[in-house]
Structure 1
């Protein structure tokens, strides 16, 4: 299964949730391969740093690839019987090859927040998905949500997003997510993400 994490805006939790979701699936005993397409090599750099810092053995591999080469990677992966390819898209979507990725996806996960700037970028990302007529199941992941803040447009935003895909449970703001690494997920962090990630796993049919 091909699972893509994407949004047009950086800082919405795309890369962090990509890594945490890979950790979560691995913890459940599922086969995972992560493809880092971010121009900043965020996941690759983090994996290298994590290996230097922690004693834990990696439970899955992280690869990097050029956008222009990703079609071949996807073709090769589709020849594998089992497993989940998790792709971290670049924050900037301006390359024709990204259409190949989105159309190949089985699941698209779009982390977002309820602030205006993030919602504007999320709206642009939705337009791209609709323009490409992708068939993937789309999940909107409310991320880094502050319990002390009253989001006045929250219900309106959810009602709009639910016409396009599934809105998962919220992941609250927590320093535990900021300390995430690519080698393991703590029990406390699993509790934070469980509701949202289980929704993606169960409704997305991830095996």
Structure 2
């Protein structure tokens, strides 16, 4: 199964969600996972390399990938039907080399924030990906939700997003990229992320695995 994690807006939480999902699938469900880091900043790859320096045994592999090498790499990885491939997409959608990547997705996850710029870029991402790949479910994940902030437009935004896919429960703002690594997710943040990850696993990943 190939899961894409993307949004055009920088800072939406793509790399954090990639780590959280990879850690969750390997530790909670013992799935075989490989992460392909296509993000220009390659922050997931950097964390993976640092963990190796500290001689920690990684529960999954992180591979920095150039778009030109993607087709061959995907062919190798998907020979194993039990392999779950997570792809941290680049922050921009203006490269035609992304078309085969988007077409490969069995599930597309899109973290976003409830602000005007993030919502606009999220809707653009949704329209582009849906036009290229209309078979993969699109799941929107509200991210960095502040408990002390009233989101007056939240219902309106969720209604618009639901025209393209499903909107999950939100993830609190205390889930910071610096607190998560490629070895584990701190136990203190698990209550904030498990409802969302359990929903994604139960409704999309597990169902596909049993069909």
What TM-score, normalized by structure 2, do the two folds share?
Answer: 0.92
Identify the residue that residue 80 of structure 1 maps to in structure 2: 80
- Work out whether residues 24 and 190 of structure 1, in 8 Å CA contact, stay in contact via their aligned partners in 2: no
Asked if the contact 2:16–2:176 (Cα under 8 Å) also holds between the matched residues in 1, the reply is no
Q: Secondary structure at the match of 2:143?
A: strand
Q: Which residue is equivalent to 1:159?
A: 159
Number of positions where the alignment pairs a residue of Structure 1 with one of Structure 2:
206
Gaps of 5+ in 2: none
Which residues in structure 2 correspond to 1:109-148 (within 5 Å)?
109-148=109-148
CA distance in 1, matches of 2:175, 2:136: 31
Q: Distance in 2 between matches of 1:90 and 1:157?
A: 24
In the TM superposition, what are the counterparts of 1:53-92 in structure 2 within 5 Å?
Answer: 53=54, 56-92=56-92
CA contact (8 A) 2:144 2:175 kept: no
- Determine whether 1:171 maps to 2:196: no
* CA pair 109-40 structure 1, distance change in 2 beyond 3 A: same
Please give the alpha-carbon distance, in whole angstroms, between the structure 2 residues aligned to 1:181 and 1:81. Answer: 26
Worse-matched range after superposition: 154-163 or 71-80:
71-80
Partner in structure 1 of residue 40 of structure 2: 39
CA deviation map 1:148-173 (0-9, x unaligned): 11111100111111121111111011
Alpha-carbon separation, structure 1, partners of 2:24 and 2:175? 18
Confirm whether residue 94 of structure 1 aligns to residue 89 of structure 2: no
In structure 2, relative to structure 1, the CA distance for the partners of 1:205 and 1:131 (3 Å cut) is: same
- Report whether the alignment pairs 1:48 with 2:46: no
Normalised TM-score (structure 1): 0.94
